[in-house]
């Protein structure tokens, strides 16, 4: 009896093995991490992720924004491997696990050409509640209507701003409502009469690179890395990576990397304050 001789080429051999083992050609689940949340954290985490990918070929770090509330919600539900939160967890979120990796502050910004050098807390409250609507109503301001730029719900920058100034969001009278820091910076830079509040790190980076904004002191203290680092700036916060359970595998490796001295140069380059490893 003649029998046909089957010669397996490498591709046929691989296909044959795959048929016996359907998972043979699949990439392991831990080849990708999805992080969602804070627009303050996202650019920084994205840069950290790029370095992590270079040191770990085949790994992909997918960073998406949407606000701290999204990051916490996605981490809790499992839609994200890691959430990004630009504040500490609330008591109601204590079942989650938070890992601080940097510090930042929130500052008031105006257009670079605005003659205002500083605003009191009372001035900021009056502007945001519509009691002062013209720049000439605050010391040294020109005769021009104030464009009030405010954050949308779900943003930790909004929550901390309201908490610091003891404001109820229903009493705020915004001219423009924006989402992330970049939108806020772009809006103020494009309007000489606008005022907003954003991440110190984001604002410092953009101002240093020629964007037409000015960061205002609070209580006489200049916003910057030094005053955030030493805790003297009145409105500062911790940036956190958040998980539903105690992290393990790739998630744990990435979190440890993001908290290590090996990324302090990236954190400083992005105008944030590194934490001790």
Report the domain count for the chain.
2
Closest by CA to 106, choosing from 266, 228, 269, 265, is 228
In a domain, 26, yes or no: no
pLDDT of 156 reads: 87
Residue 262 CB burial class (10 angstroms; 0-12, 13-18, ≥19):
middle
Cα(193)–Cα(237) distance, integer angstroms:
28
Cα(261)–Cα(125) distance, integer angstroms:
39
* pLDDT, tens digit, 9 for 90 and up, residues 129-168: 999 999 999 988 999 999 999 999 888 899 999 999 999 9
In a domain, 49, yes or no: yes
Q: What is the dihedral of CA 129, 131, 195, 87, to 10 degrees?
A: -30
Same domain, 109 and 225: yes
Percent of the chain with pLDDT over 90: 83
Same domain, 114 and 170: yes
Cα(224)–Cα(219) distance, integer angstroms:
14
User: What is the chain's mean pLDDT, rounded?
Assistant: 89
Structural domain for 242, as ranges: 32-103+238-274
Q: Is the pLDDT of residue 58 over 70?
A: yes
Cα(88)–Cα(229) distance, integer angstroms:
17
Q: Please answer whether residues 162 and 231 qualify as being in contact, where contact means their C-beta atoms are separated by less than 8 angstroms.
A: no
In a domain, 131, yes or no: yes
> Coil, strand, or helix at residue 86?
coil
Lowest mean pLDDT among 21-35, 37-51, 231-245: 21-35
In a domain, 58, yes or no: yes
* pLDDT, tens digit, 9 for 90 and up, residues 170-220: 999 999 999 888 999 999 999 999 999 999 999 999 999 999 999 999 999
Same domain, 98 and 120: no
pLDDT of 30 reads: 57
pTM of the model: 0.78
In a domain, 48, yes or no: yes
In a domain, 22, yes or no: no
* pLDDT, tens digit, 9 for 90 and up, residues 89-121: 999 999 999 999 999 999 999 999 999 999 999
Same domain, 207 and 110: yes
CA angle 36, 41, 44 (to 5 degrees): 110
In a domain, 9, yes or no: no
CATH number at residue 255: 3.40.190.10
Same domain, 163 and 116: yes
What is the mean predicted confidence (pLDDT) over 240-258?
Answer: 97
């Amino acid at each position: 009896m003649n029998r046909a001789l089957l010669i397996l080429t490498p591709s046929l051999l691989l296909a044959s093995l795959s048929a016996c083992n359907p998972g043979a050609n699949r990439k392991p689940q831990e080849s990708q991490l999805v992080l969602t949340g804070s627009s303050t954290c996202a650019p920084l985490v994205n840069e950290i992720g790029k370095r992590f990918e270079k040191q770990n070929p085949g790994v992909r770090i997918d960073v998406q924004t949407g606000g701290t509330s999204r990051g916490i919600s996605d981490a809790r539900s499992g839609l994200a491997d890691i959430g990004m939160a630009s504040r500490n967890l609330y008591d109601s979120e204590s079942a989650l696990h938070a890992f601080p990796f940097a510090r930042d502050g929130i500052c008031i910004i105006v257009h670079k050409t605005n003659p205002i050098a500083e605003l009191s807390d009372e001035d900021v409250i009056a502007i945001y509640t519509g009691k002062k609507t013209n720049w000439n109503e605050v010391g040294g301001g020109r005769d021009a209507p104030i464009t009030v730029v405010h954050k949308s719900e779900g943003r930790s920058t909004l929550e901390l701003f309201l908490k610091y100034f003891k404001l109820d969001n229903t009493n705020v009278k915004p001219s423009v409502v924006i989402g992330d820091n970049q939108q806020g910076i772009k809006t103020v830079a494009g309007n000489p009469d606008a005022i907003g509040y954003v991440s110190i790190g984001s604002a410092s980076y953009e101002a240093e690179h020629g964007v037409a904004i000015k960061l205002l002191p609070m209580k006489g203290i200049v916003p910057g890395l030094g005053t955030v680092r030493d805790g003297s700036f009145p409105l500062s916060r911790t940036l956190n990576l958040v998980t539903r359970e105690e992290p393990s595998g790739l998630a744990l490796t990435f979190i440890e990397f993001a908290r290590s001295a090996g990324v302090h140069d990236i954190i400083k380059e992005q105008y944030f304050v590194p934490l001790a490893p």
